[in-house]
Amino acid sequence: MSMHSTSTVSYPRADVDPPSGSLFPHKHLLGIWGLDPTSIKHLLDVADGYADQNRTANKNSSICAGLTQINLFFENSTRTLMSFEIAGKRLGLDTISMSTGSSSIKKGETLLDTAATLNAMHPDVLVVRHGDSGAVKLLSEKMDCAVINAGDGRAEHPTQALLDALTIRRRKGQIHGQTIVICGDIAHSRVARSNIYLLNAMGARVRLVAPPTLLPKDVDRLGVEVFHRMDEGLKGADVVMMLRLQQERMKGAFLPSLREYYKFWGLTREKLNAAKDDVLIMHPGPMNRGVEIASDVADDIDRSAIEEQVEMGVAVRMACIDVLTRGLPQRVNADKAEETKS
Ligand code: CP
């Protein structure tokens, strides 16, 4: 049974003056909150082109040659960090990933002093992951260049939501009208929050399935339907997104045991029978097989899009870097040179 009915949610627009003619009138990408559907669609359209280009032999371009990208990750990452590095390199940027473990942060330098230090080196793009919600926005206020949020605390992971949206759009043809079920540890998940904002903005029907202890406190204000049973939440689903249990963010007891969690909320073939036959199975990774998802479901070659999500991650991150650096003097010259060539 649905515990909350879908409500109309009004999404705020970012308070920036759009540069004339820009379809993405934002200096930074700090979250999906504040982006209107036109901006989201523009990023997805640009990323779609990169996804096609990445499947050809000519994956690289030099449109961002001469620009510098710094990746600053305060939390572990495989997919996001690697794909931002690859994305920057494919566009011709000089990319540098700063290891926070061996930086002066270990000597007590604050986040804001670190930001001021990096800003003095004149990067053109700064990609940041941080364990505290709001830390990336705080840092962006000290930077002259474009800042991209690669995940901040429980708040947002906008490029993950964009790559998920691109995967759905390419597999299902559109996002509008799809019934998309997000299952698992919603409370601690920045992926879930960014996806809820994006999918609602693009007209999907969003359902959450989770035990009451793993739902965020503000769930009533998210414009979603909430279920506590998988068989009810998955009924007629077009897409199911499973989430990892974020035990590193849990303080206290949220679950009886992992075995019991799998029994009630782990995605198995049997539970999937409630969804549509062509349901798309997604997971942002990293996965805990046998905890939130059965191996045979994760590896289902017909229905699982998990590896495609990773592939779309590179395309989406190329699009974000491309769009945010348009208008920089180096880009204007490179774009003119590209136009002359074609
Ligand atoms: N999905 C995701 O953010 O994965 P990583 O932590 O490996 O970057």
From the CA of 285, how far away is ligand 1's center (Å)?
6
> Separation of 286 CA from ligand 1 center, angstroms?
6
For the Cβ of 158 lying below 6 angstroms from any atom of ligand 1, the answer is no
CA pair distance 185, 211, nearest whole angstrom: 8
What was the pLDDT predicted at 252? 58
Give the residue, by CA position, lying nearest to ligand 1 atom 4.
79
- Does residue 80's CB lie within 6 angstroms of at least one atom of ligand 1? yes
Rounded to whole angstroms, how far apart are CA atoms 154 and 216? 10
Please give the pLDDT value at position 257: 82
- The two tokens of residue 138 are 């705080």
Residue 264 CB contacts under 8 Å (≥ 6 apart), including other chains: 211, 229, 230
Q: What is the DSSP letter of 35?
A: -
Residue nearest to atom 3 of ligand 1 (CA): 80
Residues of the chain with pLDDT under 50: 1-19
d(CA 328, CA 337): 14
pTM of the model: 0.91
Residue closest by Cα to atom 5 of ligand 1: 77
Report how far ligand 1's centroid is from the alpha carbon of 315 (Å): 15
Read off the tokens for 162: 């964009």
Does the beta carbon of 284 sit less than 6 angstroms from any atom of ligand 1? yes
Distance CA 43, CA 128 (A): 19
Cα 299 from Cα 287, distance rounded (Å):
12
Beta bridge partners of 126: 70, 147
Ligand 1 atom 6: the closest Cα is on which residue? Answer: 77
For residues 146 and 24, the answer to whether their CB atoms sit within 8 Å is no
Contact, 234 vs 274, CB < 8 A? yes
- Which of 77, 86, 306, 314 to probe ligand 1 with, by most ligand atoms within 8 A of CB? 77
Distance (Å, whole) CA 164 – CA 195: 8
Burial class (CB in 10 A: 0-12, 13-18, 19+), 328: middle
State in Å: Cα 78 to ligand 1 middle: 6
Q: Identify the residue whose tokens are 């996002």.
A: 175
pLDDT at site 100: 82
Q: What proportions of the chain, in percent to the nearest 5, are helix, strand and coil?
A: 40, 15, 45
Residue 7, exposed/middle/buried by CB under 10 A (0-12, 13-18, 19+)? Answer: exposed
Distance 339 CA to ligand 1 centre (A): 36
Which of 72, 73, 74, 78 to mutate for ligand 1's pocket (most ligand atoms within 8 Å of CB)?
78
Bridge partners (DSSP) listed for residue 96: 70
Atom of ligand 1 nearest to the CA of 313: 1
State the chain's maximal CA–CA distance in angstroms.
64
Q: What is the pLDDT of residues 251-296, one digit of tens each?
A: 656 677 888 889 999 999 999 999 999 999 999 999 999 999 999 9
Cα separation, 184 vs 211, in Å, equals 8
- For residue 1 the two structure tokens come to 């049974």
How far, in Å, are 24, 224, 285, 300 from residue 245 at the CA level?
34, 20, 11, 21
Cα 160 to ligand 1 centroid, rounded to whole Å: 8
The Å distance, Cα 192 to ligand 1 centre, comes to: 13
DSSP states of 293-307 as a string?
A: B-HHHHT-TTTB-HH
In whole angstroms, what is the distance from residue 250 CA to residue 265 CA?
A: 17
How far does CA 268 lie from the centroid of its chain?
25
Q: Which pLDDT does position 324 carry in this prediction?
A: 95
d(CA 191, CA 193): 6
In this structure, what is the dihedral angle of CA atoms 13, 16, 18, 22, given to the nearest 10 degrees?
-70
Which is the closest atom of ligand 1 to the Cα of 129? 8
